[in-house]
A and B are shown apart, each in its own frame.
Chain A
């Protein structure tokens, strides 16, 4: 058996390197083309799993190659360029899926719901029921509680985890009586000068036959008008899904805060995709286009602050999520509490009056 001389080994390695680079380049261009065609044309975007895996493989090969010694300068530059291409593609994919990933996190079945937060942040929770007109809506919970010793009113959407409870809570989709109950609770708070906290987490107001008969639109509209002039501090936290009018109906507040992975939108990404793209599977595109993440809303000036979540999302650690929320609520309450109430209502009005002013005057 012939023992290769050192010179031959070096040459073989160099040869090998060029081969790897060429093949990596080829693979990468395949992934790029596929991504471009998926993103642009009418083809479905099912998942990015495959692309992610392939990118990882290419990356591994390149890193290995980089750590090897004995390449010439040309190969080195090529490797660097390939690295950059992988990075750009990664970023594109991340941007594309970021909004949709947040949507999935916001809807995560293990995500803490209003009662989970109430249990951890408040004491002496005492629920109140019914709209005094028709029924009690379990999709919205209202009640008195103590927040660091202070009496407060809580209003929040409530979702549930097991099927029976989900049906009971109507998947967090309130009927008109839910909104009327919420308003009634807020009026009680106003009468006795207690601040109101609202927790928003709903796919939207329930689009049912009975809801229409009993005036879903009127119930929401009235809440919007009354909350605008309610003479007590109101603080809203959007903890999960902020589903359109159904969310806004309890979110006209002095401070509207959004959890890091929450979304707030005029229509669900699926709904938007099926109307605008005539294809519900374009939900990722719609989620991105609608700009529904906490960061987007802050940039658009529609929310006042972002509440951080534990690494990986609120569902990974309910206690940590609650303590983050607690801290932010405490800070905001102490800020608004010291403002004279007339001033507070005036500044709330001004905030919503000047919000989302994206029109310009043309000659």
Chain B
């Protein structure tokens, strides 16, 4: 007869150990500061210590720009037809499906109409998480439609770009989107409808070489990579190390390619101020 008896039954082996602090803290990529995630969100995803502007998704962008997070999304049902039936190590169609599942979007742009400090505006925000924000037939078509909507309703348009450029998997069709969007912008320009281009990290390739550089004002967030060719391509071409800060917003400002570099917190007031200037005086 045993002296001791096990009191309870089996050990609880169900479920895994949970670390409750997981995901509450993040480390800044730039200054390595440990930040409470809530703090970062309150600070619009900008590091409170070093002011690094982290990438944000399209819907967060819309929420930050438009009043009361209220807006109406349009042209959200456009889908690529995979015109080239492109296939590299993986089929483009499966890349698309994956990106759609990951982001909950049909392609790399969200069109919305809403109020910016009580003024009706159209905003087209690009989604970098969707195949690098690359521009194929759908992005081209969606942005063109947003411009046309702005033109018809004489509402200012703001395009927030975040893109690696044209989408290679749609070949020359993505290239033609540059011409398509730029042509639409020429009509917008003729009609004197304000267009503000906001360049965020990163904006390169065909997107920079078309609508991103064609705003009445081109403004950028601090530290964003903006350029035509990617830094690695340039390094390979000229065979030397690139200077520090090359192709960052401040570099472009210095070279006269941008109207302003604006902190994310100041973005909405800045745009609002610019639209005051550009819109016809209220009757």
Contacts and interface: CB of A to CB of B under 8 A. Distances in A.
Given A218-B257, A220-B228, A357 B141 contact: yes
Given A207-B234, A220-B228, A358-B137, A352 B180 contact: yes
Contact of B84 (A211, A221, A289): A289
Given A207-B228, A266-B175, A359-B78, A218 B213 contact: yes
Contact of B183 (A207, A289, A352, A356): A352
A291 B84 contact: yes
Given A222-B214, A277-B89, A353 B172 contact: no
Contacts of B255: 213-215
Interface string B174-202: 11111110111111011000000000000
A292 B171 contact: yes
Contacts of B183: 224-225, 228-229, 252, 349, 352-353
Contact of A229 (B186, B210, B237): B186
B168 A266 contact: yes
B55 to A, nearest CB: 20
Contacts of B21: none
Contacts of A217: 208-209, 212-213, 227-228
A315 B144 CA distance: 40
B179 A252 contact: yes
A265 interface: yes
B94 interface: no
Interface residues of B, number: 63
Contact of A209 (B88, B171, B178, B238): B238
Interface in B234-278: 234, 237-238, 242, 246-247, 255-257
A355 B180 contact: yes
Contact of A356 (B168, B180, B227): B180
Interface in B220-237: 227-229, 233-234, 237
A87 interface: no
Interface of A: 205-209, 211-218, 220-222, 224-226, 228-229, 244-245, 248-249, 252, 264-267, 272, 275-278, 285-286, 289-292, 296-297, 300, 302, 349, 352-353, 355-363
Interface of B: 77-84, 86-89, 106, 136-138, 140-141, 144, 166, 168-180, 182-187, 189-190, 205-206, 208-214, 227-229, 233-234, 237-238, 242, 246-247, 255-257
Given A215-B255, A266-B170, A296-B172, 10 more contacts: A207-B229, A211-B229, A213-B255, A221-B209, A221-B214, A267-B166, A276-B169, A277-B88, A352-B180, A353-B144
